[in-house]
Structure 1
Amino acid sequence: MIHYEDLPLDQCVVLGPVTLSAEEVVDFARRYDPQRFHLSDEGARDTYFGKLAASGWHTASLTMKMMMTGREAPLASLGSPGFDNLRWLRPVYPGDTLSARVTVTEKRLSKSRPEMGLVHFLVETLNQDEVVVMRLDTVSMVARRETD
């Protein structure tokens, strides 16, 4: 497990990649975000996207999976109190290959729970052209290996 102590300030890791298929895009949209531009090329034709595009929530879900499974060992996560500044900056299309660039921007020990620390991450999801398609700031509660 990767613990609080294993995450130095300014550490940057790139996780992934994962490639989206049209079937995955449509399946996710049918279940969670059934907007016409996420369901078919025809539905997207006269929209900003012009063709089938993945839901931003699908992109966020794939990014979360990369964050939890993309390291050499799992993160000793104890959950998260939330995130800020979620931005979908560019469309994601079937056939795109995504990776997640995750940077430790701040960290501190919990005052009320000595078994954990709070780690702030800047998360940037990139496509195969290294264009940032999504960005967010998140805080993770991460178990400590040792307590004082």
Structure 2
Amino acid sequence: MIAFDDLMPGQVVVLGPTGASRDEVLAFARAYDPQPFHLSDEAASQTYFGRLSASGWHTGALMLDLLINNPDWPLACRGCHEIRDLRWRAPVYPDDRLSARVTVIDCDVPEAQGAGRVTLDLLLSNQDDATVAQMTAVLAVARRI
């Protein structure tokens, strides 16, 4: 596990790829964001998306999943304190391949309960290296002690 004590400001890691199939995009939209352009190609063709696109909330969830459930960088996350400056920069389409560039911004004084606060900048890009989303996350990360 990657612990609070293993992190330092300026550290960068690239995680991924991940993505969502057409069925996953539709299932998420039906459950959580039933806007027409997330539910059909026909409705999306009338918008700047041009075709069925993933919900921004689905995109954010994929980004967090890369951060929290990644076997290549198993971060010992103990909770998320806040998300700052979440921005959707470009649509995510079914079967896009997404990767996250994670930069450690700050490692605060350790908290009680054996964790420390870590501020991370996350930049999510697709297979064409276009930025599709970005955010800053403040997480509690377990200490080694």
Structure 2: gaps (5+ residues): none
Structure 1: gaps (5+ residues): none
C-alpha displacement of 1:129 = 1.0
- Choose 69-78 or 119-128, whichever is displaced more: 69-78
C-alpha displacement of 1:73 = 5.0
| TM-score, length basis structure 2 | 0.94
Equivalent in the alignment of 1:116: 115
AA matched with 1:138: A
Structure 1 segment 65-144 matched on structure 2, within 5 A = 65-72=65-72, 74-110=74-110, 113=112, 115-144=114-143
Question: Residues of 2 paired with 1:16 and 1:91: CA distance?
Answer: 18
Contact 2:19 2:62 in 1 (8 A): no
What is the identity percentage for the equivalent residue pairs of Structure 1 and Structure 2? 48
Question: Residues of 2 paired with 1:104 and 1:129: CA distance?
Answer: 24
Contact 1:109 1:116 in 2 (8 A): no
- Counterpart of 1:78 in 2: which secondary structure? strand
AA matched with 2:119: H
Question: Residues of 2 paired with 1:136 and 1:16: CA distance?
Answer: 16
Confirm whether residue 36 of structure 1 aligns to residue 36 of structure 2: yes
- Counterpart of 1:62 in 2: which secondary structure? helix
C-alpha displacement of 1:71 = 4.2
User: How large is the RMSD of aligned CA atoms in angstroms?
Assistant: 1.3
Q: Give 4+ residue runs of structure 1 displaced > 3 Å after superposition.
A: none
Question: Residues of 2 paired with 1:71 and 1:102: CA distance?
Answer: 15
- Choose 119-128 or 94-103, whichever is displaced more: 94-103
